[in-house]
Structure 1
Amino acid sequence: MGKPTGFLEYKRENPTKKDPFERTKSWKEFQLLMPEPALRQQGARCMDCGVPFCQTGTTMDGSDEIGCPVYNLIPEWNDLVYRGKWKEALDRLHKTNNFPEFTGRVCPAPCEGSCTVAISDDPVTIKSIEYHIVERGFQEGWIKPQPPANRTGKKVAVVGSGPAGLAAAQQLNKAGHLVTVFEREDRIGGLLTYGIPDVKLANDIVERRISILKAEGISFKTNTEIGKDISAKELHDQFDSVILCTGATKPRDVEVEGRNLKGIHFAMDFLTENTRSLLNSEHKDGNYISAQDKHVIVIGGGDTGVDCITTSVRHGAASITQFDINSEKTNERSESNPWPLFPIVHTVEDGQKEAIAVYGKDPRSYQVSTTKFVGNENGQVTELHTICVDTTIDASGRKVRTPIPGTEKVWKADLILLAVGFTGPEERIIEELSLQTTGRSTIDAEYGKYSTNVPGVFAAGDNRRGQSLVVWAIHEGREAARECDRYLMGSSNLP
């Protein structure tokens, strides 16, 4: 630690972003690079805390968001940034994280919630420093393909090219195996490409990393769906091992009266079609669900719901409302949410800030539960009925929603986007390989081992743990690669 009093001398300085109103006119990323002196000061705020919870990646009270899941060596590269040793900081960052350019953009930064400075002050800007380290690395030409010196001759198939699949593929390739990644979409990246709007994670950022992986010797096959274009059994027979990184892509529905009306869509369909059309033709082909001039209601208060707001604002929606079934959070941690747990507090995300700038108010409405959809004679949705609910926890730990009499309301709606989470992975591959599943419909593969009941078949990421973060997917992809390598070779030197 180069500046023992840095956390006392310097205040947190967040990265500069383009004005919320102005940036809605473009699909370009809006975070700006900070000058080096400011970044070095922010690195100096990292204190000699003895036990750096920021990099622990552990669990407490059932939470999976304490510190960094990939065990980033955060104090080390904060110190190196403070000292101006950027290349060394990049080396430290890549030791634990294959893709810091992804997490530096889209991770909610559980590390910052567990920062010791955050006990009584604003946390260190860990996410911003990570972003700047890796971007400096690309600018300086330090990030280059590193193909393995030798090949083992073992062939591994990775199904799914999201963050878990890409991390597993790169690690296995480092070990010298011949890796082929199968992706059913027309572009590599999984949710990194089609699940996250381009303004948050641009496709050229994903492609920049994919080009390096290709140069390192990894093969990619797009437009190839396992179970349709190639049977799962055939894949298992052709490769020495298979790692399934297919995600948890089955969306949770809102099953109320009127659900069959036109104008009601799952959030991921809305986001995927928008990005595909944007990348293919800058929306000139019209092959997307447009929110232009429509009264949009987003059901779901999470990140996917915010992504729908981000997209709808840029389409030119007439209005945007986001339903959150939970009550509005406070600005301070509750007694049940102490440090170093991830802070459950009120925040205003970038997409919500944009809605405020364009429409003059926060788009969120709290404690709202949908009771029915209503449409016109053409089968098009025109309004949505709701009631407010109280949420309590019963003796078994389950949430109980109790309607509040007299809070019924009717909302005008032309486009309704369902962003209420996912129920698990799709079943086709699971059924073809006769894989065992858990009570949550996820693939049954023990954490830390990742092996399924079928020898040589491993599972990692959301299809194993359920819907989670990009950083957890990278962590599981790395660990599953290690276990796969051990299965193939008898031992492994992968971390």
Structure 2
Amino acid sequence: MGDPRGFLKVRTRRELAERPVEERIKDWFDVHAESGLQPWTTEQAARCMDCGTPFCMNGCPLGNIIPEFNDLVRQEKWEDAYNRLSETNNFPEVTGRICPALCEAACVLGIHQPPTMIKNDECTIIDQAWNLDYVKPLPPQRLTDQTVAVVGSGPSGLACAQQLTRAGHTVVVYERDDAIGGLMRYGIPNFKLDKRLLDRRVEQMEAEGTVFRTGVEIGKDISWDDLRSRYDAVVVAIGSTVPRDMKLPGRELEGIHFAMEFLPDATRRVYGVKPVHDITAKDKHVVIIGGGDTGSDCLGTSIRQGAKDVTVLQIMPQEPNERPDNQPWPTFARLYQKTSSMEEGFETGRAEYVYNTDSVNFVGSEEDQAKVTIENSTATEGFVADENGHVTGLKVVNVAPGENGPFTRRPGTERVIPADLVLISVGFLHPDTTTLVDQLPVELDGRGNVARNDAFATSQDGVFACGDAGRGQSLVVWAIAEGRSCAAAVDEYLTGATELQAPIVASKRPMMLPR
């Protein structure tokens, strides 16, 4: 720690400036007006207290050595900072942009001040490293005679593949889509994660020796058992892709889709790729059921596509502005945060949030409060259709707790929310294991995920599982940690020993998982 009084001299936290709403909703570029090194970057990094017990490192599943790279940012030692960061994180340009920053929630300074800007420091380090040409391919010094197939190219699959390639194994990554990246490629809007960031990582991995096969669906184009016979080990990194549905009258109507049918199409159009479902929000009344990160992405996408208006039905209560008693420091607390998409919706007057809550601790400006509907609780009763079987609205009613417990309808509160397009964004159940279980029977856990032991090994010899396929729906930072740890387990299985880092075991769970 270069300045032991840094956190006392600089008490304010400086966030990256965002582009004006009216400008950014007309394109698909990053919402931020600033990126990379800023005049205030080193000053903010100096706020790090270099704690004797750095809880930030415990909060991060990757175990990033945060106090050290914060101080290297303060000194503008970019090559050293990059080397320190890349020891534990394969893709900091991704986590630095879309991770909810579990590390900052555990920052000791955050107990009484805004926490250190760990996430922004991480992003600045990797941006500087690319700009200064520090990021180089790291091919292995020698090759083993072992081969590994990684099925799925999301963050866990890519992290696992890169680690195993660098260990000297011959690794082939199979992806059923037309481009590498999994959910990062088409599931996350371009205004949050520019896909060029993925492209240059893929180029680096190819230069290191990783082989990519796109447009290949394992279980259909190649059977799972055939794949296992071809390789010394197989890693299942297929994500959690079976969406949670809603059983409501009229669910079968036209115009009702899952969020992950809608969002990928939008990104495909940005890059000139033919849409799969051909869904658009242009000139439509949009209703989004579910107000988490994915629901917010649907909101920002709908606004950019030219939706008339968007109503977001948040199935959870309004988040508080201060830590609840059951979410103490250093756990991740679910607090109200206005996303860039929410800001776009509120400022343009095209978005309304309806929260399902019976007690309100609203956070935000008076202007925001006026644009959020707070009711005791809103129950969805079903969909309304036109004569052609296309959705035209969503029937809702206010309910309140009854004297004996069950919720009762509040007379006179029935209404129909106009909806030409309904997007269901209430999470995922488990991976799609239909062909896997049929062709290479692996045991599943009680939630339908691929069962594995703490070494990521499944019930089939030589078959491993990592990321959402085994953990269930989670965060990109947990996926990378799982991929790295799974790579260490596979390396040990193939060679009898490993020098690869394993930041977690398969049974480890976060102290608090953000939605």
What is the CA distance between 1:198 and its match in structure 2?
Answer: 0.8
Contact 1:326 1:391 in 2 (8 A): no
The alpha-carbon distance between structure 1 residues 230 and 360, as it changes in their structure 2 partners (threshold 3 A), is closer
Corresponding residue number in structure 1 for 2:9: 9
Q: Report SS of the residue matched to 2:148.
A: strand
Deviations 1:72-98 (A, max 9, x none): 111110011111111111111100000
Equivalent runs, 1:320-339 vs 2, <5 Å: 320-339=310-329
| Between 80-89 and 35-44, the greater mean CA deviation after superposition | 35-44
Contact 1:356 1:363 in 2 (8 A): no
Corresponding residue number in structure 1 for 2:28: 27
Pair 1:309-2:302 in alignment: no
Contact 1:156 1:178 in 2 (8 A): yes
- Counterparts of 2:484 and 2:224, CA distance in 1: 23
Pair 1:148-2:140 in alignment: yes
Corresponding residue number in structure 1 for 2:506: none
What is the CA distance between 1:310 and its match in structure 2?
Answer: 1.1
Equivalent runs, 1:284-363 vs 2, <5 Å: 288-359=278-349, 362-363=352-353
Structure 2 unmatched runs, 5+: 358-377, 502-515
TM-score, normalising length from structure 1? 0.93
- Counterparts of 2:276 and 2:326, CA distance in 1: 48
- Counterparts of 1:129 and 1:461, CA distance in 2: 25
- Counterparts of 2:463 and 2:406, CA distance in 1: 40
Corresponding residue number in structure 1 for 2:421: 415
Pair 1:81-2:86 in alignment: no
Contact 1:430 1:443 in 2 (8 A): no
Pair 1:424-2:425 in alignment: no
Corresponding residue number in structure 2 for 1:379: 389
- Counterparts of 1:129 and 1:391, CA distance in 2: 47
What is the CA distance between 1:408 and its match in structure 2?
Answer: 3.5
Which of 44, 50, 53 pairs up with 2:52? 50
Letter in 2 for 1:487: Y
- Counterparts of 1:195 and 1:280, CA distance in 2: 16
Deviations 1:414-443 (A, max 9, x none): 100000000100022133211101110001
Q: Report SS of the residue matched to 1:96.
A: coil
The alpha-carbon distance between structure 1 residues 272 and 36, as it changes in their structure 2 partners (threshold 3 A), is closer
Corresponding residue number in structure 1 for 2:446: 439
- Counterparts of 1:388 and 1:153, CA distance in 2: 65
Pair 1:405-2:410 in alignment: yes
Moved >6 Å (runs of 4+): none
What RMSD in Å do the two structures reach over aligned CA positions? 1.8
Pair 1:487-2:490 in alignment: no
Q: Percent identity?
A: 45
| Between 212-221 and 270-279, the greater mean CA deviation after superposition | 270-279
Contact 1:112 1:118 in 2 (8 A): yes
Corresponding residue number in structure 1 for 2:375: none
Contact 1:277 1:287 in 2 (8 A): no
The alpha-carbon distance between structure 1 residues 421 and 401, as it changes in their structure 2 partners (threshold 3 A), is farther
Letter in 2 for 1:493: E
Q: How many residues align?
A: 475
- Counterparts of 1:364 and 1:102, CA distance in 2: 31
Which of 212, 219, 230 pairs up with 2:211? 219
The alpha-carbon distance between structure 1 residues 201 and 143, as it changes in their structure 2 partners (threshold 3 A), is same
- Counterparts of 2:246 and 2:284, CA distance in 1: 21
Equivalent runs, 1:191-340 vs 2, <5 Å: 191-280=183-272, 288-340=278-330
The alpha-carbon distance between structure 1 residues 320 and 177, as it changes in their structure 2 partners (threshold 3 A), is same
The alpha-carbon distance between structure 1 residues 5 and 402, as it changes in their structure 2 partners (threshold 3 A), is farther
| Between 377-386 and 30-39, the greater mean CA deviation after superposition | 30-39
Corresponding residue number in structure 1 for 2:462: 456
What is the CA distance between 1:388 and its match in structure 2?
Answer: 4.2
What is the CA distance between 1:35 and its match in structure 2?
Answer: 4.4
- Counterparts of 1:140 and 1:35, CA distance in 2: 12
Contact 1:277 1:286 in 2 (8 A): no
What is the CA distance between 1:364 and its match in structure 2?
Answer: 4.4
Contact 1:387 1:403 in 2 (8 A): no
Letter in 1 for 2:183: L
Contact 1:355 1:363 in 2 (8 A): no
The alpha-carbon distance between structure 1 residues 245 and 388, as it changes in their structure 2 partners (threshold 3 A), is farther
Deviations 1:5-51 (A, max 9, x none): 11111121111221223111110112222544411011101013221
